[in-house]
Amino acid sequence: MVFNSATFGVFLLLVFFAYWFLFRKSLRLQNFFLVVVSYIFYGWWDWRFLGLIAISSLFDFFIGMGIENAQTQARKKILLVTTLVLNLGLLGFFKYFNFFADSLVALFGSMGIQIDGPAFRILLPVGISFYTFQELSYTIDIYRGKLKATRDPVAFFAFVSFFPQLVAGPIERAKNLLPQFYEPRTFSRGIAVTGLRLMLWGFFKKVVIADRLAKFVDPVYLDPASFDGSSIVLAAVFFHIQVYCDFSGYSDIARGCARLFGFELMKNFDRPIYASSLRDFWRRWHISLTSWFKDYLYVPLGGSHKGVTRALRNIILVFLVSGLWHGAQWSFVIWGLLQGTMMCVEFLLSPKIKLPKIGGFILVTLFTIYTLIFFRAGTFENIAIIHQKIFSSWESVSTLGHNLLQVYGSALFVTILLLVTALFLLADRYQERVAGALYKTNRPVRWAFYYAVLILILLLGVNDNAPNFVYFQF
């Protein structure tokens, strides 16, 4: 079940009314109901993986209490290592078994030794990377003494499986989200309205901008040999905007949906495409993941407090792990290595060289667009073709226009799409000012704006056979 589907609309409506009208007098029933509907939501993809998330949740529930009750530090460490091995083992098996098996076959093949790969393929459970990291933050924080273990299994299961953010985040910390399941919740019309507004904005970003840009991006990356350099460069620029609008759109919908049920999720994006340094970019992009790696990997490794060499090593390691987290492909590893290398360069040069913000913005944007080629292309063959085309095969502007028209049908539609995208990026840059000005207007003006956005979604959005959210594959 995906957010941009009629099925989810019906599901959300039924859950909302049952939650507030049937179970509003009992906090425990509300939490239990959220567990049930979250499992229905997750099982809509593949019910066979419900057992996986249930067993994982049950295991970490007891491990958390075990760590808190342990009398010695050694026993606490044993329990922590146990949960790390189980959770990362499950993640590694389901996400990376095929990757390493195929890599091993290819390695032996390169040496002239033919071996057969496994006869079966492992299916990747949707959202496993997200809820695994969420559970790990819970047990690690208990081990560090920053969090008390919960004795309420219903609240814990609801925390792990909460459907608005289950399959693509934000990756919530237990200290933020779990206490919200203990507190009585009453319906607030004002909060619900802000939630619906966030969802509307998220759907606009997803179906109008991201999915429309994907119509051009996907064919180019699927068969780059059929396109010239200008089309490939435009597809790279489009994908930079697409992946931002797609994933931040999901996060907005998730946050807005959570507000409908009285919960507040963390902000996952803060206008990263306007960052003026790579470090600034990663403070703004997928905040829940980057802060997770900082707190649970970078800092424990020593951060930047144990010398320059160790700091550079830690940066490279974090980004290599981040690349693997994003996908079981060597192209993601290269993407992570490129990001980590440039972060090291910036780490070394930033104290000595101060770029103006506009210069930093241009460099970061160009670097991000380029590295996203590795993120999106998938295979080394496609990556090689893309580079060859970019540096040798440019055709006329009319060819580029022809390719656009083949996808979007008319010059008018292309113009409207680019104009809407440009206006969105401008509004996104000044979102606080735009939101503040909107909130100060009277109700008819506000509702006219909401209806205008809704009409744009219906007219320009990809509403039939819409693609999944990009980060569902991670």
| Cβ burial, residue 90 (10 Å; 0-12/13-18/19+) | middle
Say which residues have a Cβ less than 8 Å from residue 83's Cβ, sequence separation at least 6. Answer: 59, 60, 63, 135, 136, 139
CA distance 474 to 471: 5
Among 262, 264, 300, 238, residue whose Cα is nearest residue 80? 300
Cis (ω within 30 of 0) for the bond into 170? Answer: yes
Backbone angles phi, psi at 368, to 5 degrees: -65, -45
Tell me the catalytic residues.
326
CA distance 177 to 164: 12
Q: What are 371's two structure tokens?
A: 């590295």
Residue linked to tokens 């790696």: 293
Among 224, 254, 267, residue whose Cα is nearest residue 472? 254
